[in-house]
Amino acid sequence: MILLDFYILKQILRPLVIAMVMALIVFLIERMLRLLDLVLGSNGPLNIVFEILAYLVPHYMGLALPISLFLGVLIGFSRLRRDGELEAMHAASIGLRRLARPAHTTAWVLTIVAAITIGYLQPYGRYAYQSMVFAISNASFHAFLRAGVFAQADGTSFLIEEIRPDGVGFGKVFIHEQTEDGESIAITARGGRLGYDTVESLPMLRLADGVRLQIKRPEPGEAADAADGEPPLPSITVLRFDELRTDLGHEATDLFRPRGKDEREFTLWELWQRRFDPPPDVRSSDMIAEFHGRVVHILSVPLLPFLAIPLALGRRRSERSVGIALGLALLVVYNQVLDFGENVTETGAIDPWLGLWTPYLAFAFISLFLFHRATTQVPGTSLFPLLDRFKNGSRSDESPLATAGPATAEEKP
């Protein structure tokens, strides 16, 4: 029996993994195109795109995991039925409940994965994603920099005569900064290069082969104390350098906001703890709806094999196709109903037990009923009797011999 479990598990896991990988690729490619525009537009390193995409994996994993499990179980059992292996197992007195045990075990393992992903990884991944996008968006130096044109940012003036084709190299750089305490700093350099020390930091301009001139004007008290009545001369400091690093701007150096501005950035346990003590700009109903919505999505995963197995047991290929289409349509409708229920619950108009748990119980009843019917009916009986009646009725209307009755001896040619 252990070998049989491993065999059924293999039939399930293969399409499950393929569906999971394909779903993640489809989800991530669309987001990657937008991230490329953002990162390349700010001349950031390309590897940041893949780092940001890694933070999005938990979010898309929560979407792809249920549909992948459903397709894996449905395709696996459909293949066993198509090849006649289910009939052979039934002939060996192995019932459908026993054959479904590997599918249920897989579902419970993936339920734990979904609980960790939806309950904990998604909030941290969402916050990290927004933090990195914020850092890149506020570190866009090229948005205002043009060759041969003065530009200003946070009280610092720039003049760059040459911007090299790679977008990060410069030639003949002039920088002037006037500080609040009266200091004036002027920097000229033969060349420079733009880079990033960290993702969270502002762009760092590395200047090469230049001169830094610092002029410090005298304090008002120093002019009054002059013995000869002549105002003191400003203090001038000249520094020649081979390499000098300077930040571009100061206002954007503020760190990204702390985690917890949005209820979706709280973990499952934090939602429960703060459901009646939400942060500013977040309602208590938002916290409660988010908590119940995540729990319902997690607990929906163990129900998927109960729905997928009956839909995979059609006698004909057409029935199996109808089962796949019906199952996918039911999952889409169920997910939309949950989203609608969560949105209405957030407004406080209805209780989460009505908006979220009632659709969950209806989905559980349908899944368990179909599975019970599949385990108690005679093997080979159609799961879609209405479809059979429709097809039989169509054949009867199209065939004139179907209602003519048997021919007598005199009527035979």
Confidence of residue 250 (pLDDT cuts 50, 70, 90): very low
254 domain residue, yes or no? no
Residues 279 and 355 in one domain: yes
Angle, helix 122-137 to helix 47-82, in steps of 10 degrees: 140
Compare 291 and 32 and report the one with higher pLDDT.
291
Average pLDDT over residues 329-355: 91
pLDDT at 398: 44
Residues 209 and 271 in one domain: no
To the nearest whole percent, how much of the chain has pLDDT over 90?
31
Domain boundary among 192, 225, 247: 247
159 domain residue, yes or no? yes
User: Is the model's pLDDT at 44 over the cut of 70?
Assistant: no
Q: How many domains does the chain contain in total?
A: 2
413 domain residue, yes or no? no
Confidence of residue 10 (pLDDT cuts 50, 70, 90): very high
Residues 188 and 301 in one domain: no
pLDDT at 177: 81
**What is d(CA 21, CA 4) in angstroms, rounded to the nearest whole number?**
26
Compare 271 and 222 and report the one with higher pLDDT.
271
Domain boundary among 219, 247, 275: 247
Confidence of residue 43 (pLDDT cuts 50, 70, 90): low
Low-confidence winner among 179-188, 281-290, 291-300, 330-339 (lowest mean pLDDT): 179-188
Residues 354 and 387 in one domain: yes
Residues 15 and 115 in one domain: yes
Residues 158 and 238 in one domain: yes
Confidence of residue 162 (pLDDT cuts 50, 70, 90): confident
Average pLDDT over residues 214-236: 64
Residues 263 and 389 in one domain: yes
99 domain residue, yes or no? yes
43 domain residue, yes or no? yes
402 domain residue, yes or no? no
Average pLDDT over residues 199-203: 49
Q: How long, in residues, is the chain?
A: 413
**What is d(CA 80, CA 75) in angstroms, rounded to the nearest whole number?**
9
Domain boundary among 218, 247, 276: 247
Residues 264 and 384 in one domain: yes
Q: Of 9-23, 167-181, 244-258, 385-399, where does the model show the most confidence?
A: 9-23
To the nearest whole percent, how much of the chain has pLDDT over 70?
72
pLDDT at 72: 93
pLDDT at 326: 85
**What is d(CA 353, CA 110) in angstroms, rounded to the nearest whole number?**
25
Confidence of residue 342 (pLDDT cuts 50, 70, 90): very high
User: Is the model's pLDDT at 291 over the cut of 80?
Assistant: yes
* Mean pLDDT, the chain, integer: 78
Residues 120 and 263 in one domain: yes
pLDDT 10s digits, 113-160: 999 999 999 999 988 888 777 766 655 555 556 677 777 666 677 777
Residues 223 and 171 in one domain: yes
pLDDT 10s digits, 295-309: 999 999 999 999 999
273 domain residue, yes or no? yes
Residues 126 and 265 in one domain: yes
DSSP 170-203: EEEEEEEEE-TTSEEEEEEEEEEEEE-SSSSSPP
pLDDT 10s digits, 58-89: 999 988 999 999 999 999 998 888 888 888 88
What is the extent of the structural domain holding 211? 151-247
Residues 166 and 306 in one domain: no
User: Is the model's pLDDT at 413 over the cut of 50?
Assistant: no
Other beta carbons within 10 angstroms of residue 408's beta carbon come to 7
User: Is the model's pLDDT at 108 over the cut of 50?
Assistant: yes
Compare 250 and 55 and report the one with higher pLDDT.
55
**Nearest-5° angle of CA 374, CA 376, CA 382?**
45
409 domain residue, yes or no? no
Picking from 135, 141, 163, the residue whose alpha carbon sits closest to that of residue 153 is 141
User: Is the model's pLDDT at 39 over the cut of 70?
Assistant: no
The dihedral over CA atoms of 332, 333, 339, 343, expressed in degrees to the nearest 10, equals 150
Average pLDDT over residues 242-266: 69
**What is d(CA 240, CA 248) in angstroms, rounded to the nearest whole number?**
20
pLDDT 10s digits, 361-374: 999 999 999 999 88
